[in-house]
Chains A and B, each alone.
Chain A
Amino acid sequence: MSDARENGERDKQRTNEAALSARLQRLNEGLGQIHTAGEPSDSPGVDRAATASGYAKGFRLSSELVAGVVVGAGIGWLIDRWLGISPWGLIIFLLLGFAAGVLNVMRSAGLVAGTALDESTRQRRDR
């Protein structure tokens, strides 16, 4: 009797594992699709072109992050000057600026779908 229960549990475990691996595979496929859709230029090409596009991508991502931080800091500083609540505006908007910068980076890397319009462009590009 205990044997049967053990068998049943093992079966359940096995099905669970199978379901999990199937889900993982689906997730991987989905991610792969997102990646290919987000970066159509990434297909392996000439070596130098690949290097240059990596360099361009690095530049793009870093400038996105820096821009977010700089804009956040600038707005915080202006708010401090106008409202005289120094240093709170700078602190809060610098942190929000970091968040915006990270959001920018993830968007331009195609890791976050972003706004609805990004979806529509992606679908259009797929078609």
Chain B
Amino acid sequence: MQVDPIHQFEIKDLWPIGHLGGHEIDFTNSALFMFIIVGAVSALLIGGTAPRAVVPGRLQSIAEMSYEFVANTVRSSAGAEGMKFFPFVFTLFMFVLFANLIGLIPYSFTVTSQLIITASLALLVFLIVVGYGFWHNGLHFLNLFVPKGVPKIILPAIVVIEVLSFLSRPVSHSVRLFANMLAGHITLQVFAGFVIMLAGAGILGWFGAALPFIMVVLLTALELLVAFLQAYVFAILTCIYLNDAIHPGH
């Protein structure tokens, strides 16, 4: 049996939904999983808050915990003013978290392993930061690029470096999530491939296959952690960037 570690990231067209500029627009497995993610998040939150119990049940506890977790993150890294962006950050966090977690289920598709998805999310954050920064602070937003206490002679170079550093944010923001998910899933697939190859080699291979199998189990646990961690990192970086827009350096 041939094992192809890249196969899991293949986009498949499920059914066509129209044409745009000579290109066929298809409903893909990626789109399907995005709908599943949004459905799962909505089901968790609507179903969780429906009982409105004083003593929360299991589902309500999860919903409340996720709210408090993100709210604390936003407050601690973007301040109380950052809470106006709470719906945005919460949506991003839940979307990325569920995309990562659902992607761990065998035979499912990992939406966040597509660079275009993470780049779109990071660009959305970037554009909101720039748009809100200029709307809220006017041209004072540009003070972000002028650090205090720098000698006048090297200031132009510093400003260019700061601007480049600012422009590189969406790149690192998106690539980090994408690369983590891609690398993790390829590693899992490669080790799972070892299991299959060794098991196909006869009775001795069965014993050999136990080793990569243990590895797969451990890696799955690690990937579960990475899935959560990366969603958290994505959310906290969003908060830090929004903080720039709310209070740029004076």
Contacts and interface: CB of A to CB of B under 8 A. Distances in A.
A5 interface: no
B47 to A, nearest CB: 30
A71 B171 contact: yes
A59 interface: yes
A49 B240 CA distance: 23
Which of A63, A75, A99, A116 has the most chain B CB within a 10 Å cutoff? Answer: A63
B229 A103 contact: no
B222 A70 contact: no
Given A75-B167, A96-B160, A117 B176 contact: no
A37 B171 CA distance: 26
Contacts, number: 94
A53 B157 CA distance: 34
A2 interface: no
Contacts of B169: 67
B104 to A, nearest CB: 15
A1 interface: no
B175 A66 contact: yes
Interface residues of B, number: 35
A43 interface: no
B49 interface: no
A71 B167 contact: yes
B249 to A, nearest CB: 4
Contacts of A107: 165
Interface of A: 48-49, 52-53, 55-56, 59-60, 63-64, 66-68, 70-72, 75, 93, 96-97, 99-101, 103-104, 107, 115-117, 120-121, 124-125
Interface of B: 76-77, 79, 144, 147-148, 157, 160-162, 164-165, 167-169, 171-172, 175-176, 179-180, 221-222, 225-226, 229-230, 233, 240, 243-244, 247-250
